[in-house]
């Protein structure tokens, strides 16, 4: 027997002697769609902030998650937590209220894991979000648009209380696994991607999970990091996904003591920033991203002259889910 043939035979013997589980694992190619959640890129913004020479601007591009938004992190965390606790098992329907992105995350993950999804959604949600949910096969219960997510929350509670045995209700606004996803995932990624040089962290308030979880962990890494929350300037606004907390149902997971500062943003200013990001950086973001980055600029304007800063903003989703909004056609 030739040396090469002998080596081939020995290789085959070694493979055949492996434990069955090891052999199966080595033969499994590719990855599940849910394996792609997290580890999103951090973009460096180079043109839009040239008037602030001592500030480095960065954005966490959360639309690189497989479901297209930051909400993939929280939805997956809550679903897995429900499975671990035995609250979610085969035959149950995942039920929750959403303004769109968490619902899409539930829909994507539910399809991948084999769970049906039922969502309460404000009728004011963008057409793109509604169509995406329909395409995933989600059962949608529309609630009055002028009541926003608060109306959807009230309706989902009614549905759940009518038949609690049928549903798994994660309740993204009260579930600790929501901020937990950002404590264990988003914040360590930001810390690593900035080599620990981050000085400011900025995120919008919707469920508040992204801000709460990320801030808690970042403050553990470095208590001097200035963490700033962002919300609309009034209860009647056009910043889909964000809450004006003084006029809304405040999420149980929210901890106001974590914010070093809270900045309120006008809808019009967020729209203008979305356009600037697209036209000056080539980044097509959603409106809540525009609001968060406007707030980041506001921080930069107020820095003491010459102070160096590394500012990181969360961009929850891309602008593709908002292309039907009229502001795109306005000057």
CATH of the domain at 121: 3.40.50.1100
Pair 81, 226 in one domain: no
Would you state the structure tokens that stand for residue 100, as one six-digit string? 């769109």
Q: Which two tokens stand for residue 62?
A: 């959360």
* Helical residues (DSSP H) of 143-238, grouped into ranges: 148-162, 177-181, 187-193, 209-221
Instruction: Let me know whether 154 and 107 are in one domain.
Output: yes
Which pLDDT does position 176 carry in this prediction? 98
Question: What pLDDT is stored for residue 27 in this prediction?
Answer: 67
Does 15 map to a domain? Answer: no
Evaluate whether residue 222 is within a structural domain: yes
Is 300 inside any structural domain? yes
Last residue of some domain: 151, 168, 185? 168
Are the CB atoms for 227 and 219 separated by under 8 Å?
Answer: yes
Q: How far apart are CA 131 and CA 20, in angstroms?
A: 44
The pLDDT, as a whole number, for residue 21 is 53
Buried-state track 280-291, b at ≥16 Cβ within 10 A, e below 16: ebebbbbbbbbb
CA torsion, points 281, 286, 292, 298, in degrees to nearest 10?
50
Domain boundary among the residues 148, 168, 188 is at: 168
- Structural domain tally of the chain? 2
What is the reported pLDDT for 322? Answer: 85
Residues 138 and 182 in one domain: no
The answer to whether the CB of 296 falls within 8 A of the CB of 202 is yes
Say whether both 148 and 180 belong to one domain.
no
Question: 297: domain range?
Answer: 37-68+176-329
* Predicted local confidence at residue 126, as pLDDT: 84
Q: According to the model, what pLDDT value does residue 13 have?
A: 35
The angle subtended at Cα 82 by Cα 124 and Cα 176, nearest 5°, is 70
Question: Is position 161 within any domain?
Answer: yes
Residue 91 lies in a domain: yes
> Per the domain annotation, does 252 fall within a domain?
yes
50 in any annotated domain:
yes
Secondary structure letter of residue 317 according to DSSP: B
Query: 240 and 296: one domain?
Result: yes
104 and 199 together in one domain = no
Residues of the chain with pLDDT under 70: 1-27, 331
The Cα 142–Cα 51 span in angstroms is: 44
Answering whether pTM is above 0.85, one says yes
pLDDT the model gives residue 20: 56
Q: Do both 250 and 304 map to the same domain?
A: yes
Contacts of residue 67, defined as CB under 8 A and 6 or more positions apart, other chains included, come to 37, 75, 101, 104, 105, 107, 108, 109
- 187 and 282 both lie in a single domain: yes
Q: What is the dihedral of CA 118, 119, 120, 125, to 10 degrees?
A: -140
Report the distance separating Cα 103 and Cα 152, nearest Å: 12
- Asked if residue 87 and residue 47 are part of one domain, the reply reads no
On whether both 113 and 190 belong to a single domain, the answer is no
Q: What are phi and psi of 204, to 5 degrees?
A: -75, 160
Beta pairing partners, 314: 60
Q: 137, 168, 199: which is the final residue of a domain?
A: 168
Rounded CA separation 301/276 (Å): 17
Residues annotated as part of the active site: 71, 288
Task: Give domain status of residue 27, yes or no.
Answer: no
Within 10 A of 210 (CB to CB), how many other CB atoms are there?
28
Do 131 and 274 reside in the same domain of the chain?
no
pLDDT of residue 5: 43
Q: Would you state the pLDDT for residue 15?
A: 36
Question: Quick one: 50 and 159 in the same domain?
Answer: no
Q: How far apart are CA 61 and CA 317, in angstroms?
A: 7
d(CA 152, CA 150): 5
């Amino acid at each position: 027997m030739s040396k090469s043939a002998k080596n081939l035979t020995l290789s085959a013997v070694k493979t055949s002697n492996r434990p069955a589980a090891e052999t199966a694992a080595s033969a499994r190619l590719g990855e599940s769609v849910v394996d792609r959640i997290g580890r999103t890129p951090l973009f460096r913004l180079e043109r839009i902030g040239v008037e602030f020479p001592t500030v480095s601007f960065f954005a966490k591009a959360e639309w690189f998650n497989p479901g297209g938004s930051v909400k993939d992190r929280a939805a997956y965390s809550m679903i897995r937590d429900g499975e671990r606790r035995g609250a979610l098992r085969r035959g149950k329907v995942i039920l929750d209220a959403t303004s769109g992105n968490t619902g899409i995350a539930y829909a994507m993950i539910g399809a991948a894991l084999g769970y049906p999804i039922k969502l309460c959604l404000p009728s004011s949600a963008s057409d793109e979000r509604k169509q995406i949910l329909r395409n995933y096969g989600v059962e949608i219960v529309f609630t009055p648009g002028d009541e926003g997510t608060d109306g959807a929350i009230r309706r989902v509670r009614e549905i759940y209380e009518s038949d609690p045995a049928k549903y798994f209700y994660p309740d993204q606004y009260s579930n600790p696994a929501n901020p937990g996803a950002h404590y264990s995932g988003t914040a360590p990624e930001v810390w690593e991607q900035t080599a620990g040089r981050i000085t400011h962290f900025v995120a919008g308030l919707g469920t508040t999970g992204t801000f709460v979880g990320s801030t808690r962990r970042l403050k553990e890494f470095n208590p001097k990091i200035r963490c700033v929350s962002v919300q609309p300037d009034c209860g009647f606004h056009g910043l889909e996904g964000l809450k004006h907390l003084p006029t809304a149902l405040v999420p149980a997971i929210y901890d106001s003591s974590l914010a070093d500062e809270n900045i309120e943003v006008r809808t019009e200013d967020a729209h203008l920033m979305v356009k600037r990001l697209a036209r000056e950086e080539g980044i097509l973001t959603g409106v809540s991203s525009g609001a968060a980055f406007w707030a980041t600029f506001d921080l930069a304007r107020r820095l003491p002259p010459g102070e160096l800063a590394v500012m990181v903003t969360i961009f929850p989703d891309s602008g593709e889910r908002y292309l039907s909004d009229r502001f795109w056609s306005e000057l």
